[in-house]
Chain A
């Protein structure tokens, strides 16, 4: 084989190798991003639900804390819808949407607001300044707390396996097991989504918990 041809093949090999490395690195970064959970706090013991939430006393109540514009939370909303289909009438739902201070009406005109409004036995609550969320330690959109009829927290965490990833997840399967009176593999799960604690958030979790 002539030298020129060999050099060409070598060049192609080198370029393809570099390209492959770049692809692997890029996919790794994307995977890493998608699988990095948000921060979350522990639900304070003896936490009392605010009246606006109105937890049901005859059945469990699943409270979802969400950022109305977080694209990743659509997967959580889908999981919630699926839970209602899987365990019909088995729980009451409450969706608490973050609202920044002085937010205009557009913050309540998102697709998530609309989907939340269509859930069965669900009350949608605005949480200006994320005070309620902070009180339960929910710092990331998609954070779910499942209360039993007595108001005791049975589960705390996210319903997706990564950012915006639909399908089964540890959190989803655990919640569905609890609702079916089964023993869940876990009573907590990582939460993936946008932060509902803005940089200008004046309320810390500790503040909220008092």
Chain B
């Protein structure tokens, strides 16, 4: 029945067909119930009782109506309930319905009117639009009516013999209706198919549309989700940033202020309206005009963005620094219609900037201007003096005598308090027009502006020195720390502030070295010395530019270290010498300080260590591994703080082949105690390389015994100053004795430096001093002599013995 339509239409058609069957089944269910009631009622009305004379009983038709009617009703109802829409139900309904017609006709006495029920039943069956149902229905009619007409003609036709023509007529009318209904069913089915086809197409199109809609919806949902995420991010960002957003509609002249915006200036949501004046009225008068101008430029299109700092009045009456940023939105005509942006409270940032500015220009401890500010002011004064030669000014450079002692012995707290007091004293003693600055450490500098002459400057300087002359109490301690000052007067020879400061420093150095607590004015002699120093520095820089240059001008000398128990040479101290091409041999006392200050000590130290290591490796090769021999090399404070020291040591060890235990680095007590260097860490790393360490010039510094234990040293070298007086002064002898005892207790080797005569040797031997070096045994000698000494082995005691 569905072969002529495609699959989607077939599905729709079968669905509609099934709905039709089920709906018609239901209608027939109702019909059967009604028919049953009608049949019983008809029997009760027409033939309620049957009589036999005066007696009566219930008529057979009533029982037939009830029984047979129930039988014909029950089965269709059961099937409708259990198998609604199925073929068995439809066919059973068709048969039952026609039997109902037969029953009704019978019970109503075969009236012609009752026969209409047959035609009605057939028509009713056509509700199924299934002509096949007419076959069993017509079959029932044939069996019930036509067959009886043939075999019992009187019961149908009222005659004793069969009437083929009447039978044909009866059948003809039934067939007529069958044909009519069949055509009707076929047409209805065709219409159903057309509808199904159309519906399938519509549903197909609908499914396509739904799929597209679903895809679009999914896409939209994704975009919406992304948008929500973006909004959420934006919201969190805004919340996190603490910025207050605002949105100014230039058309409506209303401003939307976000709650955060209002909170920034201390107002609640309902306390600020949507007028621009709400904003303008809270901008301080100093910034109002600039803000107006910036807003006007933005709204006129003259600027693309707004980025301005302004002060606004907070609800608490205080002013707050705000950073206002905004951008403009234009309409299709390019006219700005909207400004939107944010407001951020930058008060803390501003305060921090101000603090940084102060810190950048002032000393944190004393509050005085720092070196940068001072240099700038001196530069300014130099420039002014150049334009106006009559204008005189002076620069004082001061340093407190014994400040380090105070700092180390009484602690940094007292040292700081002393500096604060000093700053206060400077301010009190000087004029408002003068500038005093802390240059670093305990160094101060003063710019005495507009002084008449050097005498005026000297008088002011003297007043300052007097102010610090007497002892004073700091944190419960009596402190004496005098001031040494260097003074330099302005003059045409000075081109820069640095030159003046350098000379003032030199003068101050002169004051310190010639008695302290005094002022020295920079003079020509100092100037010449400074020039000399500059020449030395320049020549040194040239001499140390590379290893070849250093090989050309530097050379090493070796001073033997003698074992006092047997007179054997157990080591050498490598000492660098500078042989200037024109000046000749320059004393280490002359060039080492300059090298230290200029930084040339780093390449010199490197060169010294490398060449000494090479020499030591050569000696080790010559004298074998068992010969007790160590090469001592001096390490300056500057080298100790050099980050390249350790890599350089590793390279030297690798490249020269010297054994680490054959090297010993000598560090002065002062270098080790330098608070700016993490000396212990560096020393430990040196020890990790296997290189020994010695404390040089012990006794001249200010190290405590506890510090001595912390340093990873193996040797103490007693400063030569102790040996100079060891034979004349008992206390020196006692100190040396104590140092030697201390070294033994700390399991350190002890080397006495500067041994010059036999009495000193005797003393040291009496004190069980193990090692010594000095001119008594040998001055520093060149490599050939040193090698000879080694070959001779027992050198000095032999001399002594001799």
Contact A26 B64 (CB under 8 A): yes
Q: How many residues of A contact B (CB 8 A)?
A: 47
- Does residue A167 face the partner (Cβ distance < 8 Å to B)? yes
Known: A72-B47, A74-B109, A164-B47. A199 touches B52 (CB 8 A): yes
* Nearest A-chain residue to B56, judged by Cβ: A69
Give a binary string over A161-177; 1 marks a CB under 8 Å from any B CB, 0 the rest: 11011111110110000
* Nearest B-chain residue to A73, judged by Cβ: B51
Give a binary string over B101-119; 1 marks a CB under 8 Å from any A CB, 0 the rest: 0110010011110000000
Contact B52 A198 (CB under 8 A): yes
**Chain B residues, CB < 8 A from A201:** 53
* Nearest A-chain residue to B88, judged by Cβ: A12
**Chain B residues, CB < 8 A from A141:** 51
A170 to B161, CA, bound (A): 10
**Chain B residues, CB < 8 A from A35:** 152, 155
Contact A71 B60 (CB under 8 A): no
User: Which of B20-28, B65-73, B178-186 forms part of the interface with chain A?
Assistant: B65-73
Give a binary string over B33-53; 1 marks a CB under 8 Å from any A CB, 0 the rest: 000000000000011111111
- Does residue A100 face the partner (Cβ distance < 8 Å to B)? yes
CB distance from A25 to the nearest CB of B (A): 10
Contact B60 A30 (CB under 8 A): yes
Give a binary string over A72-114; 1 marks a CB under 8 Å from any B CB, 0 the rest: 1011000000000000000000000010100100000000000
* Nearest A-chain residue to B166, judged by Cβ: A168
- Does residue B160 face the partner (Cβ distance < 8 Å to A)? yes
**Chain B residues, CB < 8 A from A161:** 154-155, 158
A19 to B78, CA, bound (A): 12
Cross-chain contact of B106 among A34, A197, A198 (Cβ < 8 A) = A34
Contact B53 A166 (CB under 8 A): no
Contact B88 A198 (CB under 8 A): no
A53 to B49, CA, bound (A): 29
A195 to B457, CA, bound (A): 170
Contact A23 B112 (CB under 8 A): no
Cross-chain contact of A69 among B51, B103, B110 (Cβ < 8 A) = B51
Known: A164-B109, A199-B53. A26 touches B67 (CB 8 A): yes
**Chain A residues, CB < 8 A from B51:** 67, 69-70, 141, 194-195
CB distance from A194 to the nearest CB of B (A): 4
A130 to B50, CA, bound (A): 17
CB distance from A69 to the nearest CB of B (A): 5
A74 to B45, CA, bound (A): 13
Contact A196 B75 (CB under 8 A): no
* Nearest A-chain residue to B161, judged by Cβ: A185
A35 to B68, CA, bound (A): 18
Cross-chain contact of A200 among B54, B59, B75 (Cβ < 8 A) = B54
A161 to B159, CA, bound (A): 9
Contact B54 A170 (CB under 8 A): no
Contact A23 B68 (CB under 8 A): yes
Cross-chain contact of A198 among B53, B103, B154 (Cβ < 8 A) = B53
A131 to B350, CA, bound (A): 142
**Chain B residues, CB < 8 A from A16:** 75, 88, 92
Q: How many A-B residue pairs have CB under 8 A?
A: 113
Cross-chain contact of A170 among B52, B75, B144, B158 (Cβ < 8 A) = B158
Give a binary string over B92-106; 1 marks a CB under 8 Å from any A CB, 0 the rest: 100000010011001
Docked complex: A135-178 residues within 8 A CB-CB of B: 141, 161-162, 164-170, 172-173
- Does residue B55 face the partner (Cβ distance < 8 Å to A)? yes
- Does residue B732 face the partner (Cβ distance < 8 Å to A)? no
* Nearest B-chain residue to A16, judged by Cβ: B92
Cross-chain contact of A166 among B56, B61, B111 (Cβ < 8 A) = B111
**Chain B residues, CB < 8 A from A162:** 110, 155
**Chain A residues, CB < 8 A from B55:** 198-200
A100 to B55, CA, bound (A): 9
* Nearest B-chain residue to A174, judged by Cβ: B160
- Does residue A49 face the partner (Cβ distance < 8 Å to B)? no
Known: A26-B68, A71-B59, A72-B47. A168 touches B159 (CB 8 A): yes
A69 to B54, CA, bound (A): 9
Give a binary string over A38-66; 1 marks a CB under 8 Å from any B CB, 0 the rest: 00000000000000000000000000000
- Does residue A10 face the partner (Cβ distance < 8 Å to B)? no
* Nearest B-chain residue to A100, judged by Cβ: B54
Cross-chain contact of A168 among B53, B144, B158 (Cβ < 8 A) = B158
- Does residue B291 face the partner (Cβ distance < 8 Å to A)? no
- Does residue B256 face the partner (Cβ distance < 8 Å to A)? no
CB distance from B111 to the nearest CB of A (A): 6
Known: A22-B71, A170-B160. A98 touches B49 (CB 8 A): no
**Chain A residues, CB < 8 A from B157:** 168
**Chain A residues, CB < 8 A from B64:** 26, 29-30, 33
* Nearest B-chain residue to A103, judged by Cβ: B54
CB distance from B69 to the nearest CB of A (A): 10
Contact B53 A98 (CB under 8 A): yes
Contact B159 A173 (CB under 8 A): yes
Contact B155 A194 (CB under 8 A): no
Contact B50 A19 (CB under 8 A): no
A123 to B53, CA, bound (A): 22
A110 to B514, CA, bound (A): 170
Contact A173 B88 (CB under 8 A): no
Most buried by B among A27, A69, A172, A197: A27
Contact A169 B154 (CB under 8 A): yes
**Chain B residues, CB < 8 A from A23:** 68, 71-72, 99
CB distance from B162 to the nearest CB of A (A): 13
Contact A33 B54 (CB under 8 A): no
* Nearest A-chain residue to B79, judged by Cβ: A12
Contact B112 A200 (CB under 8 A): no
A161 to B153, CA, bound (A): 10
* Nearest A-chain residue to B51, judged by Cβ: A194
Most buried by B among A33, A103, A172, A199: A33
**Chain A residues, CB < 8 A from B71:** 19, 22-23, 26
* Nearest A-chain residue to B70, judged by Cβ: A26
* Nearest B-chain residue to A196, judged by Cβ: B53
**Chain B residues, CB < 8 A from A19:** 71, 75
Cross-chain contact of B50 among A12, A71, A196 (Cβ < 8 A) = A71
Give a binary string over B142-155; 1 marks a CB under 8 Å from any A CB, 0 the rest: 00100000001011
Contact B92 A75 (CB under 8 A): no
A67 to B360, CA, bound (A): 142
Cross-chain contact of A173 among B50, B72, B158 (Cβ < 8 A) = B158
Cross-chain contact of B160 among A70, A72, A185, A197 (Cβ < 8 A) = A185
**Chain A residues, CB < 8 A from B144:** 27
Known: A26-B71, A170-B159. A165 touches B53 (CB 8 A): no
Contact B47 A27 (CB under 8 A): no
**Chain B residues, CB < 8 A from A31:** 106, 155
Contact A165 B52 (CB under 8 A): no
* Nearest A-chain residue to B107, judged by Cβ: A30
* Nearest A-chain residue to B148, judged by Cβ: A31
A199 to B57, CA, bound (A): 13
Docked complex: B189-222 residues within 8 A CB-CB of A: none
A100 to B102, CA, bound (A): 36
A162 to B92, CA, bound (A): 30
A29 to B106, CA, bound (A): 12
Contact A165 B109 (CB under 8 A): yes
A168 to B159, CA, bound (A): 7
**Chain B residues, CB < 8 A from A199:** 52-53, 55
Give a binary string over B80-99; 1 marks a CB under 8 Å from any A CB, 0 the rest: 00010000100010000001
Given contacts A31-B155, A35-B152, A71-B59, 16 further A-B contacts (CB under 8 A): A12-B88, A16-B92, A26-B67, A30-B68, A33-B60, A71-B50, A72-B50, A74-B46, A74-B109, A162-B110, A166-B109, A168-B157, A170-B159, A194-B52, A197-B53, A199-B52
- 6 nearest interchain CB pairs? A198-B53, A168-B158, A100-B54, A194-B51, A71-B47, A195-B52
Selected A-B contacts with CB under 8 Å, 27 pairs: A19-B71, A19-B75, A23-B68, A23-B72, A27-B103, A30-B64, A33-B60, A35-B152, A35-B155, A67-B51, A70-B50, A70-B51, A71-B47, A71-B59, A72-B47, A103-B54, A161-B154, A162-B110, A164-B46, A164-B109, A167-B158, A168-B158, A170-B154, A194-B50, A195-B52, A198-B55, A200-B54
